[in-house]
Amino acid sequence: MKKYYLAALSLLALGNQGVEAQALTICTVIANTSDGRILHEKGDCSGRVTPASTFKIALSVMGYDAGYLKDAHSPTLPFREGYPDWLGEVWRQPTDPTRWMKYSVVWFSQQITQAIGVERLRGYATAFKYGNADFSGDSGKNNALERAWISSSLKISPIEQVRFLEKFINRQLPVNPRAYEMTSQIVESNEVQGGWTISGKTGGAYPRKLDGEFDRTRGWGWYVGWAKKGNDTLVFARLIQDKERQATSPGIRARAAFLKEWPGLADGLMR
């Protein structure tokens, strides 16, 4: 059941400070799917960065179209020793497509990418116009299927995120209809003030320093997706970047701030 928890999300991980005290909002962009008009664009919305876990929306479409993903609960895959378990026990559980999307389970993504392969992933991303469609991975490390979308070769801008989502909502991607239906089913949705239902995916990752190590003081946080009310469907992307190291995910904080702002934003856009 969809939950009405805007208030909880707006407080999550923020304490008594707003997200502005912790991070810079790089871009907020919102477009109307009926005609492609950009209704709101603020900040640098054309610069490309890693998509991080927002790539799961595109990867879900690919996985269902390719046939590796079957439905909302199949395949269910077991956790194996050696898989990424950055979130601890949450990631050490048997995982299906719904749980994968909800908990952003990286090792499940890796099973999908390995099943599809680099060439087909690149072909999908090129056809989707998904950023730079670069699935080379880290230079010289042969790790494209493990992390091309996580602080590595694949990059996308906020405006490209909304253009991809616009094609997804309007079913203009070269995939079978079930890929749209199942992806829409497993992406988390929440009811917020004003009668809107917002569906989306967070993402968080870190830029690389010159020595190749992650700069954990400057984490990127994404929240991308679509908002529906009656006959209106809008697509959006929010990108933030931390000013200093934080204890919580920048993606979760990007979502919390965006959902808190949404009623005011939507009122202005739909007049």
Place of tokens 């997200």: 19
Contact 54, 164 (CB under 8 A): no
**How much is the average pLDDT of 228-244?**
96
pLDDT of residue 271: 64
Q: Enumerate residues 6+ apart whose C-beta is below 8 A from 89.
A: none
Domain-located, residue 99: yes
Which structural domain, as residue segments, surrounds residue 39? 6-269
- pLDDT band for position 195 (cuts 50, 70, 90): very high
d(CA 207, CA 216): 8
Domain-located, residue 206: yes
74's tokens? 């199949």
Residue 70, sorted as left (phi over 0), alpha (psi -120 to 50) or beta, turns out to be alpha
How buried is 218 (Cβ within 10 angstroms: 0-12 exposed, 13-18 middle, 19+ buried)? middle
* pTM of the complete model beyond 0.85: yes
Give the strand order in the sheet containing 196-205: 38-43, 23-32, 232-242, 220-229, 196-205, 189-192
First vs last Cα of the chain: how many Å apart?
30
The CATH number of residue 263's host domain is 3.40.710.10
Total residues belonging to the chain: 271
Angle at 76 between CA 94 and CA 148, to 5 degrees: 85
Domain-located, residue 51: yes
Whether the upstream peptide bond of residue 78 has omega within 30° of 0, thus cis, is no
Q: Is 53 a catalytic residue?
A: yes
Q: Are strands 38-43 and 232-242 parallel, antiparallel or unpaired?
A: unpaired
171 closest CA partner among 116, 113, 226, 123:
226
| pLDDT tens-place string over residues 95-150 | 999 999 999 999 999 999 999 999 999 999 999 999 999 999 999 999 999 999 99
Domain-located, residue 154: yes
Does residue 18 register a pLDDT over 80? no
Domain-located, residue 73: yes
| pLDDT tens-place string over residues 146-187 | 999 999 999 999 999 999 999 999 999 999 999 999 999 999
- Annotated active-site residue in 53, 60, 153, 157: 53
Q: How far is residue 79 from each of residues 59, 88, 200, 258, measured CA to CA in Å? A: 20, 11, 25, 33
Sign of CA dihedral 260, 156, 29, 165: negative
Domain-located, residue 192: yes
175's tokens? 């995939």
Domain count along the chain: 1
Domain-located, residue 1: no
- pLDDT band for position 259 (cuts 50, 70, 90): very high
Beta bridge pairs of residue 106: none
Angle at 94 between CA 88 and CA 97, to 5 degrees: 105
d(CA 167, CA 51): 17
